[in-house]
Amino acid sequence: MSESVPRKVVVTCAVVGAEVTRAQSPAVPYLPEEIAQAALDAWRAGAAVVHLHARHPDGRPSQRPEHFREVVDRIRAAGCDAVLQCSTGGAVGMGVDERLGSLVDGAEMATLNLGTMNFGDDVFVNARPDIVRIAGRIRERGLVPECEVYDAGMLETLRWLRDKGHLAPPYQVQFVLGVPGGMSGTERNLRFLVEGLPEPARWGVAGIGRFEMPMAEVALGLGGDVRVGLEDNLYAAKGVLASGNGELVEAVVRRARERGREPATPEEARAALGIPRPRIPGAAPAAVP
Ligand code: KMH
Ligand code: ZN
């Protein structure tokens, strides 16, 4: 990277997640058309990557292929060329077979969660054999993994996966900081984690709740990528609910530009992340405001 031209930032938007509910915020999308619309809003605001979960019509988390397929098809039918990243994390309590239901045609990336942890009052189970299995399926399907790291020990699992040949570049590392049970969203923690990467890799940060924008700012300064979205945080400011995913993406794009970092387009994000170019009939790049 040149010293004088800061590299572009890949903005990911996690538009729905598995945990947040419409009782918490009316902006949380449930139906495939609502989730697809949320993805379009995020893309138009400058997100290059959309991190997808799906829901049953009543809002319960779903990893059913038909739900993911409808979301993906609707996003593409609208001419959106954002990179589509499907969650294999699903929701706490789901088994691995169920979680893998999200890897539908049209997905380009998939998450790979690198360890078991307390997740609020629940336990998010990612035993090492399960991680290996999910990594294998991601590779079989030709997808680029986003390795989700919530705690420092998970970098050792990343190193182990590399050493054993279960994971190879290209991959992105997402530091998810602020989950109750994982590492908190502090600059010190993020710097420590980035220094601990076993090899140079594209990395980003997703700050949970009140950590979202502060962590984005630190990552922007350190040359990392950023993730925002209603999965991670429902608020535009203290006590003020965000109107939707677009508002959160706009806020981080504004901060990025203040630091001289333009948001990468989806095509630029594919080049940066080693993702092959998809065939998207009728897709046109979003005009980032
Ligand atoms: N819902 C969380 C338990 C992922 O998308 O891969 C896990 C999660 C991670 O959201
Ligand atoms: Zn997720």
148 touches ligand 1 (CB under 6 Å): yes
* Side chain identity at residue 76, one-letter code: R
Point out the ligand 1 atom lying closest to the alpha carbon of residue 112.
6
Q: Is the CB of 85 under 6 A from ligand 1?
A: no
Mode of pairing for the β-strands spanning 109-113 and 144-149 = parallel
Mean pLDDT of 134-151: 98
Q: Is the pLDDT of residue 108 over 70?
A: yes
Length of the chain: 289
Evaluate: CB of 32 within 6 angstroms of ligand 1.
Answer: no
Percent of the chain with pLDDT over 70: 95
| Smallest CA separation from ligand 1 atom 8, residue | 89
The pLDDT assigned to 278 comes to 75
φ, ψ of residue 145 to 5 degrees: the values are: -75, 145
Ligand 1 and 189: CB distance under 6 A: no
Mean pLDDT over all residues of the chain? 96
What angle (nearest 5°) sits at the alpha carbon of residue 275, between those of residues 191 and 143?
90
Q: If pLDDT is split at 50, 70 and 90, which confidence band does 85 have?
A: very high
Atom of ligand 1 nearest to the CA of 61: 1
18 pocket-lining for ligand 1 (C-beta < 6 Å): yes
Is residue 137 over pLDDT 90?
yes
Q: What is the pTM of this model?
A: 0.96
Q: Whose CA is nearest to atom 10 of ligand 1?
A: 89
pLDDT > 80? residue 83: yes
Are 263 and 8 spatial neighbours (Cβ–Cβ below 8 Å)? yes
pLDDT in tens, 222-247: 999 999 999 999 999 999 999 999 99
For the stretch 177-196, pLDDT in tens is 999 999 999 999 999 999 99
Mutate to test the pocket of ligand 1, among 63, 124, 126 (most ligand atoms within 8 A of CB): 124
141, two tokens: 């399907």
